[in-house]
Amino acid sequence: MRMVNYADLESLVGTEVGVSPWHQITQSQINKFAEATGDHQWIHVDVERATREMGAPIAHGYLTLSLLPMLAAQLMRVENVTRGINFGCNKVRFTNMVPAGSRVRLRQKCLAVESRAGGKQVVMESTIEIEGKDRPACVAESIGIIYGE
């Protein structure tokens, strides 16, 4: 895990922050996401049909995106922080399907750090890779605002 002081966040611009450990996407996780969001499309939750027609059920794109905070927390720790907030995304693209049982990981590169709202706005290029696949599952410019001492 990379450690950086709040005062030194700007030094990250243009660098790869890190790569997370692999995380397996389970059918149970897909089903729980479907329950939470009301998205019960058969490609996600009908295991028999999805396996027959597509080879396996597919994770929701937004499930994949929702893994960003958990995976990012495994990449870097910022010291002297009082709080951080998710500010959103500039761009999000779902570039490949994630079959149930696949393993994914996050690769992040820092694109920008700017003063904002009494804190520092951090823009990351966040790429969620799929084990064994050339094309990632998701590429997003994720934005957070970090407040520190």
| Confidence category of residue 63, pLDDT binned at 50, 70, 90 | very high
pLDDT in tens, 97-107: 999 999 999 99
Instruction: Please report the DSSP string for 62-94 in residue order.
Output: HHHHHTHHHHHTTTEEEESEEEEEEEEEEEEEE
Phi, psi of 100 (to 5 degrees): -55, 140
- Can you identify the CATH homologous superfamily of domain 2-24+60-148? Hotdog Thioesterase (3.10.129.10)
pLDDT in tens, 7-45: 999 999 999 999 999 999 999 999 999 999 999 999 999
Instruction: Name every residue whose Cβ is closer than 8 Å to that of residue 111 and which is 6 or more positions away in sequence.
Output: 13, 14, 123, 124, 125, 141
Query: What is the structure's pLDDT at 44?
Result: 98
pLDDT at 117 over 90: no
What CA–CA distance (Å, rounded) separates 44 from 34?
8
